[in-house]
Chain A
Amino acid sequence: MSDDVTPRPRGSFYPRRRDDWHPPALAPRYRSSTLRAPRRALISIPQGWGEITGPVFGQNMLGELDNDLLRNFARPGESPIGERIIVHGRVLDQDARPVPGVLVEIWQANAGGRYRHKKDGYTAPLDPNFAGLGRTVTDAEGHYEFRTIRPGPYPWPNGPNDWRPSHIHFSLFGSGFAQRLITQMYFEGDPLIERCPIVNTIPDPAAVDMLVARLDMNASLPMDALAWRFDIVLRGRRSTYFENRPEGN
């Protein structure tokens, strides 16, 4: 298949900066990590077909309201309580190329900081018109967009008085399974960000800054919704398969 029509053969992914960029497995200020962090070093293995390939998700699997959290659970004629927002951005790789076809799944608390989840016992009430989940697939330029409400902060059992900043959870699939990423988006200006033990599992302030969405007045809808811009970078790939060894050898 040396004459295939894909624009660029794509190989293994750039190594992950696990030591000084991603959070370490063990971060004792985030208490849950103490019994759940592997204690032994990860084992490096060569990336093969199982790592550079990944499942594919097309736009055709999406429902019309999947990226509209204002409407995908609300009763007819009603909508959720809270600040109406647009969250949008681009998914790029480390070479700043857009990544199309990325499945983006999100979940979040409602405006009061309460999740629609059987294990969430926070006093704030559920919103009958809000489920807090959405998904979309990036377009040819790597763009995605959601409509939702701004989630509220919430307290959680960790230190004596820890609160999560307002945040939206993101799950992403790139084109290879080794690009799989789960992260969280925060809101510029939130004073709880710097106080959060989960945010602070990340060692480098520049890395935290990548998770902070910016207010984007240009994309806001007058008399309707403010917009927040959150760009996401997935691992880049080398330009050839398996370095200098062509497929089939």
Chain B
Amino acid sequence: MANEPEYLDETPSQTAGPYVHIGTVPNFLGIEGVYAEDLGARMLDEHTKGERITITGRVLDGVGAPLRDAIVEIWQPDAAGLFPSPEERRGAADPHFTGWGRSACDFDTGLFRFATIRPGRVPLPDGRLQAPHVNFWIAARGVNIALHTRMYFPDEAAANAEDPILARLMAEGRGETLIAEKTDEGFHFEIRLQGHRETVFFDV
């Protein structure tokens, strides 16, 4: 159809499989000397503006066992709510913040870990302000298309209450699954793939 506008289908997803570490976090796996360091291992430097926080967590399967072979990535704005991306048009983000982190789950404990800052608030396209949150992306063996979710903060009650997306989920009884726990070390976020407290995953 020469006159039809060309429109292609997206390349379909396939699972990352159990050996995703080789390509994404080789140094973590013990393959050293190919890449100087694993991408996404460092989000900050000493000049980054904002409150330093640590986010830990686990991804739990249908019987509550932590995934020990998953890769977790986060994407978040800086302390002022701006994303360090060429697609950001509202202003210049903090040049000392990458906004993007990648962590493999620990081979023994299943824990992922990010050293980051508390994100600023970002408006929805209609202008309403969202509560501070961190975007999560999870890939693993057995996950056919990677999962998108969000982590909100337990100590942001006022902002959480006016977040349009979170408010809708709270009304449906599922919003709590997106709120991290405060711990001595920072924040802890359990992501449940199944079960009565199954985490909310998004089609974005």
Interface residues, chain A, with chain B CB atoms under 8 Å away: 1, 4, 6, 9-10, 15-18, 21-25, 27, 30-40, 42-57, 63, 66, 72-73, 92-96, 103, 105-107, 115-120, 131-135, 169, 171, 175-178, 180-184, 198-199, 201-202, 206-208, 210-211, 232-236, 241-243, 245, 247-249
Tell yes or no: B154 within 8 A of A by CB: no
Q: Are B125 and A242 in contact (CB under 8 A)?
A: yes
Q: Which chain A residues lie closer than 8 Å to B14 at the CB level?
A: 23, 169, 182-184, 198-199, 201-202, 211
Query: What's the nearest-Cβ distance from chain B to residue A198, in Å?
Result: 6
Please measure, in the bound complex, the distance between the C-alpha atom of A180 and the C-alpha atom of B145, giving whole angstroms: 10
Does B111 lie at the interface of the complex (its beta carbon under 8 Å from any beta carbon of A)? no
* B109 interface residue per 8 A CB criterion: no
CB-defined contacts of A32 to chain B, threshold 8 Å? 15, 141-142
Q: Across the interface, do A107 and B85 meet the contact criterion of CB distance under 8 Å?
A: no
B185 in contact (CB, < 8 A): no
Q: A38 near B194 (CB under 8 angstroms)?
A: yes
Partner of A171, one of B16, B76, B123: B16
8 residue pairs, one from A and one from B, having the closest CB atoms: A107-B23, A32-B142, A36-B142, A53-B85, A55-B100, A242-B125, A23-B144, A35-B62
A107 CA / B63 CA spacing, docked (Å):
30
Distance (whole angstroms) from the CB of B176 to the closest CB of chain A: 14
A33 to B89, CA, bound (A): 39
Nearest chain A CB to B190's CB is how many angstroms away? 14
Please tell me if the beta carbons of B6 and A133 are within 8 angstroms of each other in the complex: no
Closest Cβ–Cβ distance, residue A44 to chain B (whole Å) = 5
For B10, B99, B200, the residue with the greatest tally of chain A CB atoms inside 10 Å of its CB is: B10
Known: A51-B204, A56-B86, A202-B12. 8 other contacts (CB 8 A): A35-B142, A36-B193, A37-B194, A49-B83, A51-B135, A107-B22, A134-B23, A249-B127
Residue of A nearest to B191 (CB): A38
> Does A169 lie within 8 Å of B16, measured CB to CB?
yes
Bitwise, B86-127 to A at CB < 8 A (1) or not (0) is 111110000000111000000100000000000000111111
How far is B31's CA from A120's CA once the two chains are assembled, in angstroms? 14
Chain B positions within 8 Å of A49 at CB level = 77, 83, 88, 90, 122-123
Contact B122 A43 (CB under 8 A): no
Are B13 and A50 in contact, CB atoms less than 8 angstroms apart? no
Within 8 A of A (CB), among B143-177: 143-148, 165, 169
Whole-angstrom distance between the alpha carbons of A107 and B15 in the complex?
Answer: 13
Inside 8 A of B35's CB, which chain A residues have their CB? 63, 66, 133, 135
> Do B143 and A36 touch across chains, with their CB atoms under 8 A apart?
yes
Write the chain B residue with the least CB distance to A201: B144
Q: Are A16 and B142 in contact (CB under 8 A)?
A: no
Inter-chain CA distance A17–B8, complex, in Å, is 12
Interface contact B16-A43, CB-CB below 8 Å: no
Complex partner residue of A37 from B107, B144, B169, CB under 8 angstroms:
B144
Taking CB as reference atom, which chain B residue is nearest A18?
B203
B32-73 residues with Cβ-Cβ distance < 8 A to A are 33-36, 39, 61-63, 65, 67, 69, 73
Q: A16-B10, A107-B22, A210-B11 are in contact. Are A182 and B146 (CB under 8 A)?
A: yes
A74 to B119, CA, bound (A): 42
**Contact (Cβ within 8 A) B8 A92:** yes
A-B contact pairs, 28 of them (CB 8 A): A17-B10, A30-B144, A31-B142, A33-B15, A35-B61, A40-B201, A42-B201, A44-B203, A49-B90, A50-B75, A51-B135, A53-B83, A56-B86, A96-B8, A105-B23, A118-B107, A131-B31, A132-B23, A175-B87, A177-B75, A180-B73, A180-B137, A182-B146, A184-B15, A184-B17, A208-B12, A211-B11, A234-B11
Q: Is the CB of B15 within 8 A of A198?
A: yes
By a CB distance below 8 angstroms, the chain B residues around A115 are 19, 22
**A199-B165 Cα distance, complex, nearest whole Å:** 35
Contact B13–A17 (Cβ < 8 Å): no
Contact between B142 and A117 (Cβ–Cβ < 8 Å)?
no
Contact between chains at B18 and A119 (CB < 8 Å):
yes
Interchain CB contact under 8 A, B203 and A42? yes
| Contact (Cβ within 8 A) A178 B204 | yes
